[in-house]
Every structure is written in C-alpha cells, then in structure tokens.
Chains A and B, each alone.
Chain A
Amino acid sequence: MRRNPRELAGLQARTSRRAVLLGGTMAAFSGALALRMRQLQVEQADQFRLLAEENRINIRLIAPERGEIFDRNGAIIAQNSPSYRIVIVREDAGDVEEVIRRLTKLVEIPQEDLDRALTAMHRSAPFLPVTLADQVTWDDISKVAVNAPALPGITPEVGLTRIYPQNGAFAHVVGYVGPVSDYDLSKIDDPDQVLRIPRFQIGKVGLEARQEDQLRGKAGSKRVEVNAAGRVMRELDRIDGEPGADVQLTVDSALQGYVQARLGRESASAVVIDCESGDVVACASAPSYDPNLFVRGISVADYRVLTEDAYRPLASKSVQGIYPPGSTFKMITAMAALEAGLVGPDDTAWCPGHLQVSGRRFHCWKRGGHGHVNLENSLKRSCDVYYYDLAIKVGIDKISEMARRFGLGVKHDLPMSAVAAGLAPNRDWKARVHGQDWLVGDTANASIGQGYMLASPLQLAVMSARIATGRSVTPRLIKSVDGVEQPSGAGESMGMNENNLRKMRKAMYEVSNDRRGTAWRARITEDAFRMAGKTGTSQVRNITPEERARGVIRNEDLPWERRDHALFVCFAPYVAPKYAISVVVEHGGGGSKAAAPVARDIMLQALYGGFPPLEAYPSADRDKIKAQQERLGREMLATTGQQSDRA
C-alpha cells in the first residue's frame, strides 16, 4: 500500500500527543490510588487497627441437622446423636508431640487415628483445628476438660453424628453416611459450602446417598468475634439453617428384623411387598453388616473381613443381585401363551422327561417325565417340557413383552444403591448385544427362566404382586417426606384377561396346597391365610450329557458356589392377597426345600404382625417351628439389646 509520509507523520504526532495525555491520566490515577491508600492506612488507621485487633469478625457455618429416617410405624432407623470429639490446633499446641503424648496417657486413641490426624495437621494451615479422636465417651471428654491447662491447643467439641440403632437390619436399604471425601466433592458440580465443614457427614450408600438432597438441609451461619489467636470470643448473630427433611419408609422394622434373622447366615435375600399399595414392607439381604462401623470410619481389618467373605455381605442382593428366575418364570410363559390365545388352560402336553428342540435334547427336571399335563398340573409339579412346548408356540418376543408387563427386565428405581434392571431378552436384544440370531433353543431356555433371563428378588416380588392383583403394582420405599405422603404404587389394571389370571393364581395355589405340589411341605394350614406360590431352582452350571447319563450330581455333593439357587415367590391370603414375597437363597439347592419355608415363615410373620400361632403350620413341623421361633426371638432380642447399650 502506498503511504503518504506527510499524513503519516501528522498521525504519529497525534499518537504521541494522545500517548502523553494517556500517560498523564494513568499517572493521575496512580496518584489517586496513593491518596486512597493514605486515607485508609494513615487517616483511618487507628479505627481499622482497632477493628483488626479486638473485633475480628469471622463467619462460621452451622451444620444443619440431618433428617431422620423412620419406619412405617415411626420406629427410628437412622437418627442423630451428640458425639464428642477432641480437636487440636497446631499453632496453639506448640510442641504437638508432647501434647499428644500427654493426651494419650489420659485417653486411649488408636494409633491409626493419630497418624491420620498428624498427616492432616501437616497439610492444613497451623491455626485450623484437626480432629484427633471422634466419638469419644463422656468420661474421656471430662478428663480432657479437667486437664485443659496441661493440654494447650486441645479442645473438646460436641457435634452430631449419625447412628443406626437397628444395626445391620437396614444396612442395605438405608446405607450409611461418612465424612465428605475429595471423591465425593469431585462428583458434585457446585458443592454446597456446608460440605467444606470438617467431618461433615454425607450419604455414601443406599437411601442416605440417593435422598441426600432431602436429608441434608441447609446450612446456617453465625458471625463470631475471634481474638488474635483465632479463638472465638463471642457470637454476634446467627442465621439458623434448615434441618433436613425427615423420611418415613414403607418398611416395617419389626418385620425387617425378623426377615434378617430368618435369613440368618445364608447368602440370601427376601422382599415383601404390600399388594394393595406397592409398599415395600421388608427388603433384606443377608448376611448384613453394621453401618455404624462405616460412619466411624471402618478399620482396614474389619473392611477386609467384609470384602473377603464369599457370601458378600456388602452386596445389596435384594435389588442388586440378579439371578436366572428358574421355574418362578413359568407363570410369565404361561400368561404369554394364554393371553395370545394359543393354548387353553386345559390343553395338555405329553412329558416323556425331555423334548427334542432343533436337534438338541431339553430335559425335564424329572427324569421319568410327568406324563400328560395341563396348565395347572404342569405348574403344580413344575414340569419343564410343558413350558418348552408353550414357549416354542408363542415365541420369545411375546414372552419377553409379557415379562416386562409383569415388571421383569424393567428397572424399579427404588432410592437404594445399584438397583439392577435385570434382563428379559428378545430377538432384538440378542442381535444388538451378541450380534447373533435368536435360536429356538434360547426360547426353550427362557421359558423356564434360564439362559439369558435375569431378575432381581425385588422384580420377582413385583411380579407376584401383579399376578395376585392384576394391577401394575409399583414398589415404593418412601412413605412420606417431612410428613408429605408420597404417591401410592397401587397401579392401574394391567388389562389382562381376568379368567387367565384366575387360572394362574389357582395353579399357584395348588403348588403349595396340593399334596403333589412342589411347595406342599411349606404350606400354611390356617384357612384364612392360605398361600399361593411357585418354587424355582435355577442352575448355575451346565449338566453334561455324560453326567446326565450317570445321574445328575446331587446339590449336597457339590461345592457351595456350584449349587443351584433356590427361589420362591408367593402371595397370601389366596382369597384376598395382602402380601407378595420373593425369597432367593444363593446356592441353597432346591427352591421347595431352601426357599419356600423361609417365604412361608415370613408371610405368616407379616400376616400375624408377630410370631404366628403354631396352628398355622402343618402339624408335623410344629415342634421344629417352636424351637425356631424361640431361637429367632432370642436373636432379635439380642440385636435390640445391643441397641439400648449403644443409646
């Protein structure tokens, strides 16, 4: 570009003039800043120095009280109780090691806690308090207070901590809280200020974590005067926070305690649903663990015991565990066939003990076969061949859809950790996930709840409730929040043919009330409370043709982890269904032996609201039941006894 030197020179001169002007302005502004500095630091210095020396105002956050958790009758499941802790301020302590040595002479503090406190102390500013010991007894706190002059920098503090008085009974439902960790903070986009309070407790697992927002509440704040050393002199004013909302569960803690005790040391789970409202009345997973250990900060040794246990106490099996539903799935196969109008309830099939499906032999559990069976008989005696036959006629897509309508393969999002969706497979699913075509053999496997089919105990209980009522009952765990009743899970009618449902229920009734039914031995003899159910035994291993030829190995002769899962689903009373129950005993063997009696006992306990009279049981079992009731009564008392110690 051509330039005109004269014009350019004129412009440069203008630039220089303006540069000088701007430079002058900047200098003037600097002068103004200096004047302001003089005003603050020289003229008003005395006033500010006074404020700084004597009247330092500090804002402290007040931790809100966490909402409490109650059962459906108002029994406490999670509460807050005062806890005493010993804190140290490095700056005030001077010789930290000497002070701690003197302190440990008075109060016993585990070396682990001391080490943790020492690292925390070196990482934080010297004037910030660091917790030395948490959950200290009143006696120890008194000792510290009396010896205060010899323990500079050490102060006893009082705060609130979470307590689960029912110990293990609600560990999987409610979960536990713990101090906020860096990991917790990293998961939250915009962490609430209150989370920065040292030792503030946040829900880690289960309902405590899922309902964190409701339970936490809002922080308050107070303005305090502190002296030159940072010690609080007096409180100026405070804005109270809002305590968290109280949450009432649908669970009945007495029943929950019984279920937990009844499952005992088995690796098992059980879910009890109120058919009328969808309320989850009990939801237990055994073995359990004591959530209070986690609140305090579990020791490495205790934690290892829990993680290395083959029975997986930390897993929430009732909602997280997914199992092949086995024969408990047969109702779905049957309903799919009935609703499709492909078979009538009285159509029979011939069971010779096996069925040839596209060149492969599918066996019935009964080697000799069941002969001619109709719907009722096939369910009562759990004939497999009948269902292979039905399923092949109906096709997997209809079965899968029916399963979903009954709540299998659908996630029931209760506010608990790791709620599993299970799986009700169909052609699309297999093509998508495995990239393979669906085979007829897969349908045969699915018809008896094996193969790809997976369901959680919660889903099985929902299925039973839906069969019992014909409504799409949805489970609900929270009854009310802060006194506000939550929507009921009663559900609308599923629009199924009532005749078909009635047939289904009748067949389930026969399972536990006919002499030839698979759950006959675990029946209820009280006429008003007759139970309908279905046993299930799901294989976790393949049976080779050679083994079948030799004779299938009995469960008792197998190592534990290769034994079959035992399942049982049921509802009662048959005439007016009140509760639906599912029980899964991992590697328990046959459903009729390992799962059905447990479900029956739970059902009676729920219906009677306490230990049932022995007359409700078959006469042959009464002695055994009596002994069992006494034993469980003692065990339940022992847990409640522990409670009162703690409180």
Chain B
Amino acid sequence: MSYLEYAVKSVPAGPRKLLYLNWPLLLLVCTVAVAGFLMLYSVAGGSFSPWAEPQIERFALGFGLMICVAMVPIWFWRNMSVVAYVLSILLLLAVEFFGTVGMGAQRWIDLGFMRLQPSELTKITMVMLLAAYYDWLPAKRTSHPFWVLIPVLIILLPTFMVLQQPDLGTAILLLAAGGAMLFLAGVHWLYFGVVIGAGVGLVTTVFQSRGTDWQLLKDYQYRRIDTFLDPSTDPLGAGYHITQSKIALGSGGWTGRGFMQGTQSRLNFLPEKHTDFIFTTLAEEFGFVGGVSLLVLYTLIIAFCVATALAVKDRFSSLMTMGIAVTFFLFFAVNMSMVMGLAPVVGVPLPMVSYGGTAMLVLLGAFGLVQSAHIHRPR
C-alpha cells in the first residue's frame, strides 16, 4: 500500500491532529530528556551552567520542531527525502572545507547559536531516503543486484565522508542502520550472508597473516587494533578510561550513591563526562535501579516505534519508523556497551541524555517523523 491509495479524508486534519499524537511515545521521550537534564546538572557540580541550561533550551526548540514535523503529512516528508539527503551530503562536504576541528576531528559548522554536526543529520536523512527508495521500487526488483547496488551507494557515500573526519562511531552507526534498512526492505538473505561471510573472512585472513611472511598490515597497525579491541593493553590511555568507567558504574551498587553524591565522575577521573560517558554518572548516582530504568525507557521507546511501524500499512512510513527505531537503538546500545567495557571506545553519545545540540534536535525531529506517520496513517 502506498500513500497514493490513502483515503485522505479519513486522516485527521487541523488542530485535531494533536489528539492523534502517539502520546505514550511523546511522554517517554520527554522523560528521558528530563533524566538527561538532571544528570547534566549533577555533572556540573549542581549547576545549570555550563551544560544543563543550554540543553534545556535546545530541548524546548527540538520539542517545537518535533510537533511541527508531526503536524505535516507524512507524504510531504516522503517527497522531501531526496532533498534532505542531498542537503545533508552538501553539509558534510562543507564540514570538510569550513568545519571546525574539535577533539581532533572535523565535525561541526559554527552557526553562532549552536554547532551543527551534519553527520548527526545524515543518520536520519539516509534512513528517509532509503525508505522512500523502497517505497518507490517495484516489489519484484527488491533483490535484483542492480537495485541493491543503488541503496548500498546511498549508504557508503556518507559513511566514507564521516570516516574522513574521522568519526568512527557515526560511520558504524550509518553502516549498521543502512544494513538494517536493506534487511527490513526485504532484500534476499543471501546478500547479508555473503557480506557477513566476506567480512569475517577478511578479518580472519588479516589476523592469520600476522607474524607470517605475507603479513597484510604493518606491526604498529596491529598494535593499534589490539588497543582498540582490548583497551587494557594500554592502561594509561584508552584502558584507563574504561577502568575508571567501570569503577564508577560498579561503585553505584543497587541503588546508587544518591543524586549529586557521585564522586568518581565529579573527581575528573572520566573523560567526556558530560557527553559520551554520562551514563556512568547516572549509574553511579542511581545505581542498578536507575540504570535499568533508563534501559527500560529506551526499550519502551523502541517498542512503541516498532508497534507504530507494524500498525501503519504505508510502506514508506513503516520502513522509516523502523529505521529510526534501529538508529535510536544503535545509539544507546553502542554507547552503553562501550561504557560497560563490552565494546571498544568509539564516539557515540547516549541519545537524549548526552550534552549535544545537533543530536538532540535531530532525534526530536526524527520522533516528529514517527508521530507524523502515526497521525497520518491510512485508516
């Protein structure tokens, strides 16, 4: 079913649309954001500056954006996907040339009131374009090699551009979310089998070759991979942060030390304590109960998104909603795994909680899209 077959008259119109919002999803998103404000307030030593206050302002802005996006019919957004994708690619190019270097990588453009990170924007526009693509593509061509190559290029273009910055975390997110989109669209299993097989084969070969005559990488490159995979081999560098992160988490115990009582994160043991590592503060101060609560909130958000995706019968809406759910999931799954020492350290923020304007705005905009799909679903 496509939006062309909509019984447009049965879709709510005007201010009545507000009543048809997915209210549980809206409330969940707000709850997570409030948890984020509390943590930023605590990390700053009980102060709204320098992080909590701007974060609240941006949330207010993003909330408005979400409602506006939700009010616009989903078919408009479908038609805008190509424009949005091209725009975000152009912005990525602009970063390449005019971007500001921060933390050793070129990531943002200074707009004055905020710093725009086009790579965050790309995560959503890519999902939109892929959803629109499969909405357009006739069903029987879905697994045709040529028609598979096109979305692969759509994914790889921004991936390589963010790798250039270099921003490994975003690149992984783009690849994984893009792959999930192809999977959801119904591309044949075989493709995934071959890609995964080839990947495993390549990695095995590279590691097998180590120490032999036909070694594929230089020694120092292997050592870098070692530290990346197992930070404990570099106890003063990457391993130090992971150890400290685990200490902070672990010392939280069942119920935590209490709000603003955390010592580990406040004593500057942790890097990026207001961005990528903010979960450690939450887990230290609110303990296992707090950590699991956040996890449950996240999972519920995913669940509501999946439910929406299954409920809307329009192909673009369901694919896009699932894509957004997967992207959101990847955000918190990668971040939490990294903080808990399950995955190497790559720069991925905790969604809606970490300090950062673009990620917040983009995620709220994405939830606006989900809401729009929900309101304008064919009835």
Which residues of A does B touch, CB under 8 Å?
1-4, 7-12, 14-16, 18-20, 22-23, 26-27, 29-30, 33-34, 36-38, 40-42, 44-45, 47-49, 51-53, 56-59, 125-128, 190, 221, 223, 226, 228, 230, 239
| A-B contact list, 8 entries, CB within 8 Å | A12-B313, A15-B186, A27-B302, A29-B329, A30-B333, A36-B342, A41-B249, A42-B253
- Once the chains are docked, how many angstroms separate the CA of A15 from the CA of B130? 14
User: Nearest chain-A residue to B253 (Cβ)?
Assistant: A45
Q: B residues within 8 A CB of A9?
A: 1
Q: A40 near B318 (CB under 8 angstroms)?
A: no
Verify if B269 is at the interface (C-beta below 8 Å from A): yes
Verify if B292 is at the interface (C-beta below 8 Å from A): yes
Closest-CB distance, A324 to chain B (whole angstroms): 45
Q: Which of A18, A27, A40 contacts B183 (CB 8 A)?
A: A18
Q: B254 near A42 (CB under 8 angstroms)?
A: yes
Q: A22 near B236 (CB under 8 angstroms)?
A: no
Q: B185 near A49 (CB under 8 angstroms)?
A: no
Q: B140 near A7 (CB under 8 angstroms)?
A: yes
Q: A59 near B236 (CB under 8 angstroms)?
A: yes
Verify if B288 is at the interface (C-beta below 8 Å from A): yes
Q: B318 near A19 (CB under 8 angstroms)?
A: yes
Could you say which of B77-85, B201-209, B260-268, B350-358 contacts chain A?
Answer: B260-268
- Once the chains are docked, how many angstroms separate the CA of A38 from the CA of B264? 19
Q: B288 near A15 (CB under 8 angstroms)?
A: no
Q: A45 near B254 (CB under 8 angstroms)?
A: yes
Q: B residues within 8 A CB of A239?
A: 236
Closest-CB distance, B61 to chain A (whole angstroms): 27
Q: A125 near B268 (CB under 8 angstroms)?
A: yes
Q: Which of B1, B185, B283 contacts A41 (CB 8 A)?
A: B283
Closest-CB distance, B106 to chain A (whole angstroms): 12
Q: A residues within 8 A CB of B309?
A: 19
Q: Which of A45, A56, A127, A223 contacts B252 (CB 8 A)?
A: A45
Q: B residues within 8 A CB of A33?
A: 295, 333, 336-337, 340
User: Nearest chain-B residue to A230 (Cβ)?
Assistant: B267
Closest-CB distance, B329 to chain A (whole angstroms): 5
Q: B residues within 8 A CB of A38?
A: 288, 292
User: Nearest chain-A residue to B284 (Cβ)?
Assistant: A52
Query: Closest 9 A-B residue pairs measured CB to CB?
Result: A48-B250, A52-B251, A7-B139, A23-B306, A41-B288, A11-B139, A45-B253, A14-B186, A49-B251
- The residues in B between 263 and 292 inclusive whose CB is less than 8 angstroms from any CB of A are 263-264, 266-269, 283, 287-288, 291-292
Q: A8 near B250 (CB under 8 angstroms)?
A: no
Q: Which of A8, A45, A127, A223 contacts B139 (CB 8 A)?
A: A8
Q: B residues within 8 A CB of A190?
A: 104
Q: A residues within 8 A CB of B254?
A: 41-42, 45
Q: A40 near B246 (CB under 8 angstroms)?
A: yes
Q: B183 near A37 (CB under 8 angstroms)?
A: no
Q: A residues within 8 A CB of B263?
A: 52, 228
Closest-CB distance, B271 to chain A (whole angstroms): 11
Q: B residues within 8 A CB of A47?
A: 250
Q: B292 near A34 (CB under 8 angstroms)?
A: yes
Q: A residues within 8 A CB of B268?
A: 125, 127-128
Closest-CB distance, B239 to chain A (whole angstroms): 12
Q: A26 near B337 (CB under 8 angstroms)?
A: no
Q: B310 near A16 (CB under 8 angstroms)?
A: yes
Q: B329 near A26 (CB under 8 angstroms)?
A: yes
Contact A48 B186, CB 8 Å, known A36-B342, A40-B340, A59-B240:
no
Q: Which of A1, A41, A59, A228 contacts B291 (CB 8 A)?
A: A41
- Chain A's interface: helix, strand, loop or mixed, by majority? helix
Verify if B222 is at the interface (C-beta below 8 Å from A): no
Closest-CB distance, A238 to chain B (whole angstroms): 11
- The residues in B between 335 and 352 inclusive whose CB is less than 8 angstroms from any CB of A are 336-337, 340, 342
Q: B residues within 8 A CB of A223?
A: 236
- Once the chains are docked, how many angstroms separate the CA of A53 from the CA of B257? 12
- Once the chains are docked, how many angstroms separate the CA of A545 from the CA of B123? 79
Verify if B298 is at the interface (C-beta below 8 Å from A): yes
Closest-CB distance, A2 to chain B (whole angstroms): 8
Q: B residues within 8 A CB of A126?
A: 45
User: Nearest chain-A residue to B322 (Cβ)?
Assistant: A19
Q: B138 near A3 (CB under 8 angstroms)?
A: yes
Q: B249 near A56 (CB under 8 angstroms)?
A: no
Verify if B303 is at the interface (C-beta below 8 Å from A): yes
Q: B residues within 8 A CB of A7?
A: 138-140
- Once the chains are docked, how many angstroms separate the CA of A12 from the CA of B267? 53
- Once the chains are docked, how many angstroms separate the CA of A434 from the CA of B313? 75
- Once the chains are docked, how many angstroms separate the CA of A73 from the CA of B315? 85
Verify if B65 is at the interface (C-beta below 8 Å from A): no
Closest-CB distance, A613 to chain B (whole angstroms): 64
Which residues of B does A touch, CB under 8 Å?
1-2, 45, 104, 136, 138-140, 142, 180, 183-186, 236, 240, 243-244, 246-254, 263-264, 266-269, 283, 287-288, 291-292, 295, 298-299, 302-303, 306, 309-310, 313, 315, 318-319, 322, 325-326, 329, 333, 336-337, 340, 342
Q: B185 near A15 (CB under 8 angstroms)?
A: yes
Question: Max chain B CB contacts within 10 Å: which of A2, A14, A33?
Answer: A33
User: Nearest chain-B residue to A17 (Cβ)?
Assistant: B186
Q: B residues within 8 A CB of A125?
A: 45, 266, 268
User: Nearest chain-A residue to B251 (Cβ)?
Assistant: A52
- Once the chains are docked, how many angstroms separate the CA of A49 from the CA of B254? 11
Q: B302 near A37 (CB under 8 angstroms)?
A: no
Q: Which of A30, A41, A57, A127 contacts B250 (CB 8 A)?
A: A41
Q: B residues within 8 A CB of A128?
A: 268
Q: B295 near A4 (CB under 8 angstroms)?
A: no
Q: A4 near B139 (CB under 8 angstroms)?
A: yes
- Once the chains are docked, how many angstroms separate the CA of A58 from the CA of B263? 13
- Once the chains are docked, how many angstroms separate the CA of A597 from the CA of B146? 90
User: Nearest chain-B residue to A38 (Cβ)?
Assistant: B288
Q: Which of A15, A42, A58, A127 contacts B184 (CB 8 A)?
A: A15
User: Nearest chain-A residue to B140 (Cβ)?
Assistant: A7
Q: A residues within 8 A CB of B292?
A: 34, 37-38
Question: Max chain A CB contacts within 10 Å: which of B250, B253, B318, B326?
Answer: B250
Contact A22 B184, CB 8 Å, known A41-B287, A53-B251:
yes
Closest-CB distance, B272 to chain A (whole angstroms): 15
- Once the chains are docked, how many angstroms separate the CA of A59 from the CA of B325? 40
Q: A12 near B252 (CB under 8 angstroms)?
A: no
Q: A42 near B45 (CB under 8 angstroms)?
A: no
- Once the chains are docked, how many angstroms separate the CA of A19 from the CA of B186? 10
User: Nearest chain-B residue to A10 (Cβ)?
Assistant: B139
Q: B residues within 8 A CB of A1?
A: 136, 138
User: Nearest chain-B residue to A7 (Cβ)?
Assistant: B139
- Once the chains are docked, how many angstroms separate the CA of A239 from the CA of B266? 26
Closest-CB distance, A556 to chain B (whole angstroms): 59
Q: B315 near A12 (CB under 8 angstroms)?
A: yes
- Once the chains are docked, how many angstroms separate the CA of A40 from the CA of B315? 42
Q: B251 near A48 (CB under 8 angstroms)?
A: yes
- Once the chains are docked, how many angstroms separate the CA of A586 from the CA of B136? 82
Closest-CB distance, B179 to chain A (whole angstroms): 11
Closest-CB distance, B132 to chain A (whole angstroms): 13
- Once the chains are docked, how many angstroms separate the CA of A10 from the CA of B186? 10
Closest-CB distance, B131 to chain A (whole angstroms): 11
- Once the chains are docked, how many angstroms separate the CA of A208 from the CA of B104? 27
Q: Which of B140, B264, B298 contacts A56 (CB 8 A)?
A: B264
- Once the chains are docked, how many angstroms separate the CA of A11 from the CA of B143? 11
Q: B295 near A37 (CB under 8 angstroms)?
A: yes
Closest-CB distance, A433 to chain B (whole angstroms): 32
Q: B302 near A23 (CB under 8 angstroms)?
A: yes
Q: A residues within 8 A CB of B326?
A: 22, 26
Q: A residues within 8 A CB of B315?
A: 8, 11-12, 15
- Once the chains are docked, how many angstroms separate the CA of A439 from the CA of B263? 78
Q: B residues within 8 A CB of A48?
A: 246-247, 249-251
Interface contacts beyond A30-B295, A33-B337, A45-B250: sample of 18 additional A-B pairs, CB < 8 Å, sorted by A? A1-B136, A7-B140, A10-B139, A11-B315, A16-B318, A19-B306, A26-B302, A27-B299, A33-B340, A36-B337, A45-B254, A47-B250, A49-B250, A51-B247, A51-B250, A52-B251, A223-B236, A228-B263
- Once the chains are docked, how many angstroms separate the CA of A4 from the CA of B1? 10
